[in-house]
Structure 1
Amino acid sequence: MPRPKQRTEALQERGLASALAVLDEEGVGGLTTRTVAQRANASVPAIYEVFGDKAGLVRAVFFEGFRMLGDNLAALPPTTDPVEALRRLADAFRAFILANPVLAQIMFSRPFADFDPTKDEAKAGLKVRKIFVQHVRDAVDAGRLSGDPTDLALILFTFVEGLAAADNAHRLGTSRQSTNRRWHLGLNALLNGFQQGAR
């Protein structure tokens, strides 16, 4: 009688949750199919059956990270001030990166040599990019920013991602007070520059 397939949605969810927990507790170096299998109370072959290989496991984590970030940003409460909405968006992005530092590495820094996202996989961040573009477009349509919304959104996203990564690596200072001050200094300078042509 053939062995029943281990591939189940429950095992996939358990394996993904286990991978996220391993990353959070042990960092990138701790993520192996064996550690994930142990935490998920599954066999290593079962994890391979669900994810294919370690690259497949990292790929699942990569997509889950962007899903979590997108849901987080989409849930921000609305505000009548579109520039304030951009500040809140940037702050929420930063908060996610700081709360999930190792996950952020996988999403933006590619720490695993055996996982290099293809163009299709890079579309995982499409929801996040669309949220940035829509917020910027709202500000442009309200006459608060001047420029092409897609151009401005890409610059804002790249700036925020880079500054959040610097914050994560403790390159903005040693105290939360100093890092907060420098974060807001940089963000306000960028947004003020975007507003110049609209005045």
Structure 2
Amino acid sequence: MPRLKQRTEALHERGLASALAVLDEAGVTGLTTRTVARRANASVPAIYEVFGDKAGLVRAVFFEGFRMLADELSALPPAEDPLEALGGLADAFRGFIQAHPVLAEVMFSRPFADFDPTHDETKAGVKVRRIFVQHVRDAVDAELLTGDPTDIALVFFTFVEGLAAAENAHRLGTSKQSINRRWRLGVNALLNGFQAPTSR
């Protein structure tokens, strides 16, 4: 089958989809411009022309990961209980990490030596942070949590991200039952620590 030669947005989208598929199948070490070009039915020079270099390709994957995560979190159904909503947010974040473990590594662990996110690139997670802050603010407004919503949201996000990384590294246990129990124990204990005395 002849390789497609156009340098278009379609090639960018095809290259990005190919990069995500290569990450899923071959991991970080398998992501090269050559493997992405082959999967996208494009030439290596075409991939370089669209993404600039390998760091540019990883950068595109980085942004796409946060877009996907924000879309999933934005689509969560509303819950009447803000604390229940926060638990659902943690579960959704966990589900994303489980479904995309290597992509999550690119987003949060910086595994590529030739790609170190700049200040502008770290803004990719702004929408995700806003979702966490809004959920926490709802709980604070309902007087179920006490403290600064931004501070609580940052601690909550960091805790959940770390817990998800520990689960992916098989450090939370060997059975699904024990892992789920420790997840719930950790999330509940953290939220309980931020609860107003009257709501405990």
TM-score range, shorter chain: over 0.9
**Once the two structures are superposed, what CA deviation does each residue of 1:81-118 show, in whole Å capped at 9, x if it has no partner?**
00000000000000000110000000000000000000
Report how many aligned residue pairs link the two structures.
195
Displacement, 1:196?
3.9
- In structure 2, runs of 5+ residues without a counterpart are none
Classify 1:198/1:132 alpha carbon distance in 2 versus 1 (closer, same or farther; 3 Å).
farther
How far off its partner does 1:197 sit? Answer: 3.9
Percent identity among equivalent residues?
82
1:128-168 per-residue CA deviation (whole Å, 9 max, x = no partner) reads: 00000000000000111011100100000000000001011
1:1-80 mapped onto 2 (5 Å cutoff): 6-80=6-80
Equivalent in the alignment of 1:127: 127
Give 2:174's aligned residue.
174
The 5 A counterparts of 1:153-172 are 153-172=153-172
Any conservation in 1 of the 2:143–2:196 contact (CA below 8 Å)? Answer: no
Contact 1:146/1:198 (CA < 8 Å) preserved in 2?
A: no
Q: Deviations over 1:50-99 (max 9, x none)?
A: 00000000000000000000000000000110000000000000000011
Q: How far, CA to CA, are the matches of 1:170 and 1:73 in structure 2?
A: 24
Partner of 2:143: 143
Contact 1:19–1:31 (Cα < 8 Å) also in 2:
yes
Answering whether residue 111 of structure 2 is matched by residue 92 of structure 1, we say no
Cα offset, 1:172, TM superposition: 0.4
Question: Aligned residue for 1:113?
Answer: 113
Runs of at least 4 residues of structure 1 off by over 2 A?
196-199
Q: 1:140 to 1:198 in 2, by over 3 A?
A: farther
Instruction: Give the AA of the match of 1:193.
Output: G
Distance 2:14 2:159 in 1: 35
In structure 2, C-alpha distance between the alignment counterparts of 1:99 and 1:29, rounded to whole Å: 19
Letter in 2 for 1:145: L
State the distance in 2 between where 1:116 and 1:6 align.
Answer: 30
Distance 2:128 2:197 in 1: 26
Deviation at 1:176, TM superposition (A): 1.2
Please, which runs of 5 or more residues in structure 1 have no aligned partner?
Answer: none
Contact conserved, 1:69 with 1:128, CA < 8 A, in 2? yes
Structure 2: distance between partners of 1:129 and 1:76: 15
| Aligned residue identity for 1:40 | A
Separation of aligned partners in 1, 2:175 and 2:115: 34
Q: Distance in 2 between matches of 1:48 and 1:184?
A: 45
